[in-house]
Amino acid sequence: MTQMVVTAAAVMAELLVLFLTGGVMPFAAGDEKKSAAETICAGFVVTHAITEIVSLVALYMHFTLTKYVYVLAGALCFAAALSVVVNFSSVFRGTSVFSGGIGFRFSAFIALLVAAGCAALVIILPGAGDPGHVIARVAKDVYTDTFGVYVPGTGEKAAFTIANMHVRYYGLDELIVRLTGLHPMTEMKIVRSVVTHIVSSLIIYRVFYRLFDSNTIRASFAAILTYAAGLLFRTPYTPQGLLYGAGWTGEAAIACVMIPFILLLAQALYDRPGNIRLWLLAVLAGIASVSFTESALLIIPCAMAAVFIPTAVIRKKWMLLLLVPAGAAVPLIVLLIHMNALAVPAL
Amino acid sequence: MTNYLPTESGLSFLLKTLSQYQAPGYYIIVAAVFLVVAAVSGGRRVRTAFLYPLILLILTVFNPYVFPLLLGNNSRFIENYYSVLWIVPITMIPAAGVVSAASRLPHIVPKILLTVFALAVLALLGTPRLRSYAGTEMPANMMKADAELVTICDYIAADAETDAPVVAFERADFAEEAMAYNPAILISTALYADEGAPSPDTESTEDFFVIRKESSELEKALRSSGYKAIAHTPDSYVFARR
């Protein structure tokens, strides 16, 4: 029972952190209606970008896990505090979770659907194995109080090069495991999966909300149909295939969160192409994505180009074309390092 | 698992990659129909979100003549090439198509009928994910770890004389999960690293072996090599070096 309570609390706490840090780079600007859902979505990107930057520093400076946890927690607290200070009135008074009237009932229906999906993830679905040794790395780090030093299942230290150092360090999960005492498998297979599922659902809803001119009913129906399509098409080549099979992996984060997030960014830029925060969110999305999986180094630049270029052409806002190199810069630099096309200092 | 590429398979690479995961080829047709409906009824914004990005992808990343220029001969990315399919929001396209088309209909009844028809198409032509979980046992614990493996690892932890016991699992999936459940365990691949791997003998250095109960040859080899069975589960024996 204690484990269940701690697990639920970890999910709530992580969503709160995402909400608070998201206020640093909110989608909405000025008098545009705020959305708690979009704040959480932005928070996902901000949090993981911060985690990636702190992880790089930790690896270069050979932090213990304890030190890394303190530094990361401090960085996230700073971001949350900054967000509260900057957005004080809007975070606590201006965000709107429900649209009111009939829209409220549809939003609540989606919330029930998402909750049912989370319950299925927690209670029923067995969860995939750990072929990428992702959970094993988290467990090994926690057990040895090191950060990315040991190869799981062996007593050997990893032969680190900067080419592989960024990928799959799951620092946020290690932070949660250290702070809560949850087993790494519980953290990854339940907490991580549920948070990914919730954020993915929020992003998909908001994409349709913006796409259909803030019509809550249409957005709700579209989100429900997307959910249905995800349940009815069994293949990992649909993002939801990853979510229900291995929602805690970096691949699920890329397919179910980051790619729809880029679509959401494009929708927001369609309305406000000059919003600097959206540009910064694109850059942060590029930074955050490199921490999830090696595939992201190729996928994210392709996704940004595929989505931002048509938006720039259709809206005739040619400066949006600069968003592609801006957002894709970090993944491409890391990609060049991986392909040994760029030399960097050794660790 | 074979990863198909457009340079080798041409346009059929998509059909082959879908079929690897029991997805029928007509998914492409279903998605294309919904995309056309979305593009026609949805207006410029819907086309900008779904149609034009797909056209750009077909001209570049999905193009067998262009994508080698992007990837070169880098085998790490070519192996994971299928993951670029994630860029297409395949489950959002039917939703966008149905809602866009329904919004053009004047009355509520045709809207409902259209939605029901679309759901029926998805249900009848799809391969429901939930069906694939029928008969699956519910997780036995909050770690979603195999209950038998948890028992085995607990036996090993109780019996181990060192902080880092070396364990050889006959089942590779057990080895994988054991690393996550108990990071103190060091894994030996002695039992499955190569085909025809030598049987355990007196030179074996592993502290523990975990084998299937029906592996009688392995059991004999272990008993004659000085290993003793210290525990068993319904399907496995745990042998320790004595």
Which B residues in the span 6-35 are in contact with A, Cβ-Cβ below 8 Å? 17-18, 21-23, 27
At B188-219, the pLDDT tens digits run 877 765 555 556 766 778 899 999 999 888 88
**Contact criterion met (CB < 8 Å) for B84 and A299:** yes
Domain boundary among B73, B97, B132: B132
* Co-location of B13 and B127 in the same domain: yes
- Total count of domains within chain B: 2
* Co-location of B177 and B119 in the same domain: no
Q: What is the ipTM of this complex?
A: 0.86
Choose, out of B58, B81, B129, B189, the residue to mutate when testing the contact with A (most A CBs < 10 Å). B129
Choose, out of B17, B83, B93, B156, the residue to mutate when testing the contact with A (most A CBs < 10 Å). B83
Q: Does B121 touch chain A (CB under 8 A)?
A: no
What token pair was written down for A194?
């549920």
**Contact criterion met (CB < 8 Å) for B83 and A295:** yes
Distance (Å, rounded) from C-alpha A128 to C-alpha B133? 12
- Has residue B114 been placed in a domain? yes
Q: What is the DSSP string of B180-227?
A: HH-TTPEEE-TTTSSTTPPPP-TT---SEEEEETT-HHHHHHHHTTTE
- Has residue A107 been placed in a domain? yes
- Has residue A55 been placed in a domain? yes
Residues from chain A that touch B164, judged by Cβ atoms under 8 A, are 155
* Cα torsion angle, A5, A10, A11, A16, sign: positive
Owning domain of residue A150: 2-338
At B75-89, the pLDDT tens digits run 666 666 777 888 888
Q: Is the pLDDT of residue A100 over 50?
A: no
Nearest to B7 by CA among B92, B67, B87: B67
Tens-binned pLDDT, residue by residue, of chain B (242 aa): 566 666 666 666 766 766 666 666 677 788 888 899 999 998 899 999 999 999 998 888 887 777 777 666 666 666 667 778 888 888 899 899 999 999 888 888 888 888 888 888 887 777 666 666 666 667 778 888 888 999 999 999 999 988 899 999 988 888 888 999 999 999 987 776 555 555 676 677 889 999 999 988 888 888 888 889 999 999 999 999 88
Q: How far are the Cα atoms of B151, B152, B167, B214, B238 from residue B234, in angstroms, in the given order?
A: 11, 11, 19, 11, 11
Owning domain of residue B70: 6-132
Q: Which of A126, A229, A244 sits opposite B144 (nearest CB)?
A: A126
User: Counting Cβ atoms within 10 Å, is residue B7 exposed (0-12), middle (13-18) or buried (19+)?
Assistant: middle
pLDDT band at A111 (very low <50, low <70, confident <90, very high): confident
Percent of chain A at pLDDT > 70 equals 82
Residues from chain B that touch A128, judged by Cβ atoms under 8 A, are none
Q: Does B119 touch chain A (CB under 8 A)?
A: yes
| Helical ranges in chain B per DSSP H | 6-9, 12-20, 26-46, 52-59, 67-71, 75-79, 92-104, 108-125, 129-132, 147-159, 172-181, 216-223
Rounded average pLDDT over A142-148: 90
Rounded average pLDDT over A243-253: 82
At A215-229, the pLDDT tens digits run 888 888 898 888 888
Write down the pLDDT at residue B149. 92
Domain boundary among B98, B132, B166: B132
pLDDT band at A102 (very low <50, low <70, confident <90, very high): very low
* Co-location of B100 and B171 in the same domain: no
Write down the pLDDT at residue B107. 86
Q: Is the pLDDT of residue A183 over 70?
A: yes
- Has residue B139 been placed in a domain? no
* Co-location of B30 and B114 in the same domain: yes
- Total count of domains within chain A: 1
